[in-house]
Amino acid sequence: MIYVHVPFCRSFCTYCDFYSEVTSRCDDAWSDFSDALAREAEARACEMNREVNTLYIGGGTPSVLPLSVFEDLSFALQRAGQGAPFDEFTVEVNPDDVVRKGQAYIEGLLKLGVNRISMGVQSFDDGILRWMNRRHDSATARKAYAILEDAGVGNISIDLIFGLPQLSDKVWRKTLMQALDISEHGVVPKHISSYQLSVEPGSALARMVERGQWTEASDEKCERQYDILCETLESAYGYHHYEISNFAQPGYEAMHNSAYWRHVPYVGLGPGAHSLSIYRSKNSDAPRMYGQHDCHNVSAGQAPGLDLATGETSEDVYVRQWNEPDLKQYLKDPLSAQDREILTSDQVMIERVMLGLRTSAGLQESFLRKHCNPSLLDNAIRSGDLVRTCGSNLRIPKEKFFVSDSIISALI
Ligand code: SF4
């Protein structure tokens, strides 16, 4: 399971706090970026494994890259023993890039093994798109979607945002209908991710809030729009609401993101990318799938119980590692700006509960009983905040997804 962070955007969106650089300042950096990614991929080959066989290229805006960078990355991954085919190979694209670069660009991606495209549409209201400082308008989003379909992309995901004060319920309903009607062939998108707008520290929006130029939508409005989203996609169009913000036609649930929510380890390449590794103990109850050998250096002192020679531990050791969000440094030496922390067992438990309970599958009751206060758990079951699935899992019922944060924080 590999994630590649592409830290370039042509312009910055109002709400965004992801690490990225403006491309006009970086147009001559493509080959340096390719080289640095290749060096990192090769150096970290022994951390990668195919238990969850996915590659996700996100950002930033990967579609600003020329095809040659994707080709170089494919070769580098091949040399690292991680070449295509992947069960799921996703690239994030911006509608404006798709229209500018045309069908040949998308066909080039498909030739490299890409089998899923995630397109940031966000809205079909041109006023809202301008406020978001997106590069496209609604007509461009439709045009881009047609190009993806004509190129033969069978698995397209689109992103939408709700919960803006200037977004009325009427316009939100219309936006959803436009999303479902985006295909020229009358086929609904296989996957829709929809997030409530949030004010992220460091974003232009946060600065607008500080200056008193913008106020968030009320909770009531956000909840209403979330309900409209769920009703529209689930009841009328048969989407599987498999995670708080994610809806899929049956069989099109995102494999890569689903693995994150199960706390599956992954390798993140590129400036600002994060990775997660597990050193599993013999009696581990961590999800069984992967690989644990960190070829870099977690010192035994940092991770008590870890035998570096065998990779065995007396208890599971989770290591989060990240590349500093610093393009210049990354281009100079992609391995020089990495940092890592050993997660405490409390941190691991909290993350697993937070991620797992966001999904419609929920978490094993035995796991929750082992790690959460049993009386709080029983309270949550009695009040209907948690329900039993037909298996042995507990999950938050979908009608309470909107308040899942408060349900989860009451448990941990
Ligand atoms: S939302 Fe996407 S395109 Fe917009 S600034 Fe953030 S990473 Fe770039």
Q: Which residues constitute the domain of residue 164?
A: 2-259
Q: Residue 195: CB within 6 Å of ligand 1?
A: no
Q: Residue 118: CB within 6 Å of ligand 1?
A: no
Q: What is the pLDDT of residue 285?
A: 56
Residues 50 and 163 in one domain: yes
The CA 383 to ligand 1 mean position distance, Å, reads 40
Residues 239 and 301 in one domain: no
Q: Residue 18: CB within 6 Å of ligand 1?
A: yes
Given the structure tokens 């590069």, which residue do they identify?
A: 135
Q: Amino acid identity of 89?
A: F
Assigned domain for 328 exists = no
| Residue 363, CA distances (Å) to 79, 158, 211, 304, 381 in order | 37, 27, 42, 28, 13
Residues 250 and 281 in one domain: no
For position 12, which CATH number holds?
A: 3.20.20.70
Q: What is the pLDDT of residue 283?
A: 62
Domains held by the chain: number: 3
Which residue lies with its CA nearest to atom 7 of ligand 1? Answer: 60
Q: Residue 12: CB within 6 Å of ligand 1?
A: yes
The CA 21 to ligand 1 mean position distance, Å, reads 10
* H/E run at residue 199: none
For the segment 77-94, the average pLDDT, to the nearest whole number, is 94
pTM above 0.85, yes or no: yes
Sign of CA pseudo-dihedral 264, 269, 274, 279: positive
Q: What is the pLDDT of residue 304?
A: 52
* H/E run at residue 227: helix 219-230
Residues 221 and 182 in one domain: yes
User: Could you tell me whether strands 306-307 and 312-313 are parallel, antiparallel, or unpaired per DSSP bridges?
Assistant: antiparallel
Q: What percent of the chain has pLDDT over 70?
A: 91
Kindly indicate the confidence band of residue 305, based on its pLDDT and cuts at 50, 70 and 90: low
Residues 362 and 340 in one domain: no
Q: What is the pLDDT of residue 282?
A: 62
For the segment 207-213, the average pLDDT, to the nearest whole number, is 94
Burial of 100 (0-12, 13-18, 19+ CB in 10 A): middle
Average pLDDT, the chain: 91
Assigned domain for 266 exists = no
Residues 342 and 357 in one domain: no
Residues 163 and 215 in one domain: yes
Residues 111 and 250 in one domain: yes
